[in-house]
Amino acid sequence: MAEDSPAIVTTFAGAIAVIRFHQPAQRNPLSTSTLQHLESTLSDLLPRSDVKCLIFTGTDEVFASGANIHELSQLDSHSALEFSQLGQRIFQTIADAEQVTIAAISGFCMAARSISLSPVTFASPQRTPPSLTPELVLESLPAGVARRDFRG
Amino acid sequence: MIGRGRALKLFLTARSISAAEALEIGLVSSVTEDPLAIARSIACGSIA
């Protein structure tokens, strides 16, 4: 897959939007550009009354590999703070969404925060087990985010 | 959602966990052969 392929691809099936992390060759890192793309995507989708459900998923055998460690190593304190705030803002936005949010996870998953903010999550047992990045689990706690009951 | 103790344990040990364990501790809601198909099914049910 070309490096310039979109980090996120959104498709629709009626009122369902499937938001797919789409850089499996890099294991779908949640880099700054990906998070900005995700924020833009959410800004487009969340105000829409015709979109009732958001499904987050990965591509091939990868859901997401969490923060881009190489990118993080290049940040200074100011840009690191900005990166952290960007991530917090996005995941809080997902947590606060009016729409039903679902994470469909197949394969590698090192972005547990994104799982934790989805009220319904599914994982595949036969593929590579999800690998859950613990610091992201911990990050979700100060935000006071809890799994919500599924609104069926 | 999984409790501070479990979160701290994961954080401090930095170990990977399986889908089965993720289900056991409540980090995921279900483990299934085709997560996206199930997600679509649930989504369709939620907006019916």
pLDDT value at A4 more than 80: no
Contact: B32, A130; criterion CB under 8 Å: no
Looking at CA atoms only, how far is residue B32 from chain A in angstroms? 5
**Nearest C-alpha in B relative to A145:** B1
- Between CA A83 and CA B23 the distance in angstroms is 30
Q: What is the mean predicted confidence (pLDDT) over A90-111?
A: 82
Sign of CA dihedral A99, A92, A102, A140: negative
Beta bridge pairs of residue A123: A105, B31
Residue A1 or A26, more confident: A26
CA distance B46 to A97: 15
Instruction: Kindly tell me if the per-residue pLDDT of B47 is higher than 90.
Output: no
Which pLDDT score, from 0 to 100, does residue B14 have?
Answer: 67
Which of A40-44, A105-109, A136-140 is the most confident on average? A40-44
Residues of B in contact with A102 (CB under 8 A): 39, 42-43
Q: What is the reported pTM?
A: 0.76
More confident residue, B1 or B6: B6
**ipTM value for the complex:** 0.78
pLDDT of residue B41: 86
Question: Average pLDDT of chain A?
Answer: 75
Span B14-26, pLDDT tens digits: 677 777 887 888 8
Residue among A104, A141, A152 minimizing CB distance to B35: A104
Q: Which of residues 6-45 of B touch A (CB under 8 A)?
A: 6-20, 22-23, 26-36, 38-40, 42-45
Which of B10, B23, B33 lies nearest to residue A126, judging by beta carbons? Answer: B33
Could you report the per-residue pLDDT of A24-53, keeping only the tens digit for each? 888 888 899 999 999 999 999 999 999 999
Q: Is residue A9 predicted with pLDDT exceeding 60?
A: yes
Q: Which two tokens stand for residue B42?
A: 């649930």
- A67 CB neighbours in chain B (<8 A) are none
**Which among A14, A121, A137 is the nearest to B29, CB-wise?**
A121
pLDDT of residue B1: 67
